[in-house]
């Protein structure tokens, strides 16, 4: 089974157009621009589908961002309007006030997941201010192993790339003619100083081949992938609601 990048790209463009026709006719697309491949490719698809005047980028550094130049490269290349909102003060303020409570254990994971959640709140604040719809930028490979922050970068109003692996996203990016240095940029979450693959314990090629083509990695890496997939499935599901306890199984409205 060979990936047809032309059919995928043109199909995604049509899907985005149809989605906005049904769910946001005349609305703008709002997208966080990290400078990585996913947000770059999503932004490129949005411009092709809606036109550059309906795409709004948002840059959200947490203080100093070492690769902020890549974010600027994306918005300048696509010639889209953008806003910069530095989340540092909000981030530091929340941690400061949490620190006043001695019984709160502010973990490393807490500090790493707070910025993505603040960024998503920022995206929605801007979206509501510009008649927008928020674009999710996750891909299938990341979603499969839960490599996203719940109610952070895992959410949005629509998701163009969630059914495409990292390798396929790159192909789409090159097909769109986006800057190669951004499409092929080493994936990193920008939170802990490591690459995605260092954090995960396997390469995206190994993951993509496994979930797309059934090519098994080493037993050790297969076990890691399977464990992460099972553990993080809840991130892809709607919030579960409790049944309506306390009512008869059958309500007889004729009585």
Q: Would the pLDDT of 250 be above 60? A: no
Residue 31's H or E segment, with its range, is strand 28-32
Q: What are the beta bridge partners of residue 104?
A: none
pLDDT at 123: 98
Summarize the confidence of residues 204-229 as an average pLDDT.
96
For residue 5, give both structure tokens.
């990048």
CA distance 244 to 248: 10
pLDDT at 186: 84
> Could you read off the pLDDT of 5-55 as tens digits, one per residue?
999 999 999 999 999 999 999 999 999 999 999 999 999 999 999 999 999
Residues in the chain: 255
Q: Would the pLDDT of 222 be above 90? A: yes
Q: What Cα–Cα distance (Å) separates residue 253 from each residue in 82, 248, 250?
A: 56, 12, 9
Instruction: Give all domains of the chain, ordered by start, each with its CATH number.
Output: 5-186 (3.40.50.620)
Task: Tell me the pLDDT band of 243, cut-offs 50, 70 and 90.
Answer: confident
pLDDT at 251: 56
CA distance 33 to 147: 18
For CA atoms 157, 158, 161, 162, the dihedral sign is: positive
Average pLDDT, the chain: 93
**What is the edge-to-edge ordering of all strands in the sheet holding 55-59?**
81-84, 55-59, 28-32, 132-134
- For the CA atoms of 239, 110, 155, 35, what is the dihedral angle to 10 degrees? -170
Which of these ranges, 104-118, 119-133, 144-158, 188-202, has the smallest mean pLDDT? 188-202
pLDDT at 198: 82
CA distance 150 to 220: 27
Q: Would the pLDDT of 190 be above 70? A: no
pLDDT at 253: 52
């Amino acid at each position: 089974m060979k990936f047809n990048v032309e059919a995928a790209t043109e199909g995604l463009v049509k899907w985005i157009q149809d989605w906005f026709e049904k769910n946001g006719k005349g609305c703008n697309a709002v997208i966080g621009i990290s400078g990585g491949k996913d947000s770059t490719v999503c932004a490129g698809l949005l411009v092709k589908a809606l036109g550059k005047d309906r795409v709004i980028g948002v840059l959200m550094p947490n203080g100093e961002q070492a690769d902020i130049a890549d974010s600027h490269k994306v918005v300048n290349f696509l010639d889209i309007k953008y806003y910069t909102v530095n989340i540092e003060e909000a981030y530091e303020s929340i941690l400061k006030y949490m620190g006043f409570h001695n019984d709160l254990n502010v973990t490393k994971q807490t500090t790493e997941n707070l910025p993505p959640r603040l960024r998503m709140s920022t995206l929605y604040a801007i979206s509501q201010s510009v008649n927008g719809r928020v674009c999710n930028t996750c891909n299938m490979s990341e979603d499969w192993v839960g490599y996203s922050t719940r109610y952070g970068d895992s959410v949005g109003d629509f998701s163009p790339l969630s059914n495409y692996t990292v390798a396929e996203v790159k192909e789409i990016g090159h097909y769109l003619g986006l800057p190669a240095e951004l499409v092929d940029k080493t994936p990193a979450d920008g939170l802990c100083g490591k690459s995605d693959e260092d954090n995960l314990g396997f390469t995206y090629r190994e993951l993509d081949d496994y979930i797309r083509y059934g090519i098994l990695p080493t037993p050790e890496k297969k076990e890691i992938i399977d464990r992460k997939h099972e553990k993080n499935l809840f991130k892809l599901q709607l919030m579960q609601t409790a049944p309506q306890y306390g009512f008869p199984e059958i309500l007889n409205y004729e009585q």
